[in-house]
Amino acid sequence: MENTLHPKKVKIIKTEQMSSNFKLFRLKPVGWEFPVGNSGLIFTPGQFVLAGLWGYGEAPFGPASSPYERSFIDIGVRRTGNVTSALHRLNDGGDMTIRGPYGNGYPLNFLVGKDLVFVTGGCGIPPIASLIEYVIARRERFGTVYLLYGAVTSKDLLFEERYEHWRKSIKVLLTVDKPTPDWKGHVGLVSELTREIDIKPRNTAVAMCGPGPMTKALENILRPLGIADRRIFVSEERKMSCGIGKCQHCTTGDKYVCTDGPVFYYDQVQGNWD
């Protein structure tokens, strides 16, 4: 996608209500094409787009689809307020706008040759889902790869229909806070899943996207494991307006999440978890 301030029209070609408050939208450009970068990607996993609806405004979302997919992008929207509630009222065939992609994304070249641990909780999974699709498409370039994912109940685990496909290439470890009678898996915090991983810590990179308490809890686990802060990448969420470093709506400490991030080294944003 062209990095322009002008929102472009997209058509919703598929929607999926993934949980009570999370809806997936598959978006196809109308009258334009996603520009393809030198690497063959239309965005870098971890970058964000601003998706909007005339009369309501825009909000940032990390695409969840494969960055190699050129005909559509998927965004997953948790209903929290004004814009996201308006987006939730849209269905197949509806129109919205997007602009971007913006921000830096996860450092794809740095991940090559390493064991990878992706850690996410609740609705933080979309950019990690995209990163997983990227890694699977280039699977031979990476060592052992884990997804550690936690949610409140099994009904809140998102992108469930992709797990079978993911499990053919990476190790998927799931946990819930509150088990239902049908849940046979792990119960507890996502940070506890680190006990089950078998990696080479000095050649491991971690990518995270999730709530502040999850990110903070991992501090006392990843460092003692021997994973250096500069091999841990955290995606930060802040309120945004312009998306291009002009309005100061998105600061974390002295950094702009929209242009310096949203992906930061762990020690760059430590203590500023939202």
Q: Which two tokens stand for residue 139?
A: 């699977």
Binding flags for ligand FAD, 81-100, as an x/- string (CB under 6 A): xxxx----------------
Judged by beta carbon, residue 223 or residue 249, the one nearer ligand FES is 249
Phi first, then psi: what are they for 71, rounded to 5°?
A: -95, -20
Beta-strand (E) ranges in 91-179? Answer: 95-102, 115-121, 145-151, 171-176
C-alpha to C-alpha distance for 32 and 135, rounded to whole angstroms: 28
Structure tokens given for 113: 């040759």
Q: Which of helix, strand or coil describes residue 152?
A: coil
Q: How far apart are CA 256 and CA 159, in angstroms?
A: 30
Kindly identify the residues of this chain, within the stretch 66-105, that bind ligand FES according to CB under 6 A: none
Q: Does 250 bind ligand FES (CB under 6 A)?
A: yes
Q: How many CA atoms are closer than 13 Å to the CA of 120, on its beta-carbon side?
A: 24
Nearer to ligand FES, 21 or 104 (CB): 104
Q: Residue 23: in which H helix or E strand, if any?
A: strand 22-29
48 vs 146, beta carbon nearer ligand FAD: 48
Query: Considering the rule CB under 6 A, would residue 19 count as an interface residue with ligand FAD?
Result: no
Considering only residues 224 to 253 of the shown chain, the ones binding ligand FAD according to CB under 6 A are 237-240
- Is residue 57 a contact point for ligand FES (CB under 6 A)? no
DSSP string for residues in 155-176: GG---GGGHHHHHTTSEEEEEE
CB of residue 115 to ligand FAD, shortest distance in Å:
26
Give me the residue whose beta carbon is nearest to ligand FAD: 81
Q: Which is nearer to ligand FES, 175 or 272 (CB)?
A: 272
Which one among 132, 147, 208, 240 touches ligand FES, defined by CB under 6 A? 240
Residue with tokens 């006990």: 195
Residues near ligand FES (CB under 6 A): 240-243, 245-250, 256, 258
Residues near ligand FAD (CB under 6 A): 48, 59-62, 76-78, 80-84, 123, 126, 237-240, 257, 262, 274
